[in-house]
A and B are shown apart, each in its own frame.
Chain A
Amino acid sequence: MTDSVGVGLAAPDFELTDVQGRAVRLSGYKDQKNVVLVFTRGFM
């Protein structure tokens, strides 16, 4: 965990391209949905 990431703090925004090729921003879910962010170890 970094200093800017913790319970009670605003989630740092980011934009990534998903597997469908769509640009997705975390902040796009604000007021719409809860988000479960899962960081994987990677596919084996």
Chain B
Amino acid sequence: MREDYARFVERDAEILVIGPEGPRRFKQVWEEQGYPFVGFADYRHEVADRYGQEVNLLKLGRMPAMLVVDKRGVIRFAHFGDNMADIPKNADVLALLERLNQEMIQWPK
């Protein structure tokens, strides 16, 4: 997503990344990688559990998940991966964001 970050910003989107690590480890990796997103160490897994991120013990951990929330605060897309690589394509998410922005113009409230 990093390569396409500017395209997300152009579409009025912020990317919030929530990881299961402790704050120190999370911050260390975050700074090493120089991620442009907003990052959170959800080490108590409160938000991940509330959103239902899957934990697969056979696959040794948490499965990736992605949700898109529109400007009204409504979930418009939810994808809960069943393996590590099961992540939506950026192009699909960018296209959805364009549709959401178009809706806001057509139906502002």
Residues of A at the B interface (CB closer than 8 Å) are 1-2, 4-14, 16-19, 24, 26-27, 29-43
Contacts and interface: CB of A to CB of B under 8 A. Distances in A.
A21 to B, nearest CB: 9
Given A8-B75, A16-B42, A36 B20 contact: no
A19 to B, nearest CB: 5
B98 to A, nearest CB: 10
A18 B13 contact: no
A8 B74 contact: yes
A23 B31 CA distance: 18
A34 B30 contact: no
Given A19-B27, A34-B13, A39-B62, A2 B50 contact: yes
A33 B51 contact: no
